[in-house]
Structure 1
């Protein structure tokens, strides 16, 4: 696609340009996003720095306000870095590393997803994802949870 070509702001290409300030998708990204949009489960296997995270960062924004994406990863430094980058773009994101942290932020997450009409990315450790307090939050936000992504899936066997 030509960078000067007009695209709808709410299309994947429009969000890529207007929100993420990128000109074009890398190989495999758009296909994964379109498959998710079509309701299919997707496994994205790209090389390091191949753009996997853009798939789960962009996808929930296709739904407009009040959409949540849950990203489960064991790498706290990577999660913190991604949250900071999203915030630098003006996007809402929270990082939950230990279960007690998740409990402290539960009401904030519920409020943002249910009442504030905000698209929110929630990054969390596997320990937080299986905590009883998070399971309670999931019940409250299930209507706006559009994506659960497992990043660094090579660690799944350890979880």
Structure 2
């Protein structure tokens, strides 16, 4: 595998693509996970935790996962590295923030979710190299993403 130095803009530009990776591994979003997240986050809205009420009143007919729970599961879905595993020469890699986060659809309880991503942008500057990674999370079988996220991270 040929390495790419984190300051080599031309080589890094080759990682930027409109094409998304293959699908990641799947994660099951069950009621126990939803309840754990509700407890941890303090978000105990009935649409997430009240199974009986949701069966009667929810437009989904069941509980649904928290949007931020789905976001937090991105790291659990193992997928392709989009060529980023080739990057070398840096001392640190760290989260730099987000450009975009959209919740586009509900994830019903007991859904399997998976993700795919692409390198959207790379910018080399004197002190850092910034990468924007776009990730789409879908309930398995759904054409429409439940979540679109653009993560920025930097190599220092």
TM-score for the superposition, normalised by structure 1:
0.20
- Structure with higher strand content: 2
Indicate the structure whose relative CO is greater, using CA pairs within 8 Å and at least 6 residues apart. Answer: 2
- Structure with higher helix content: 1
TM-score for the superposition, normalised by structure 2:
0.21
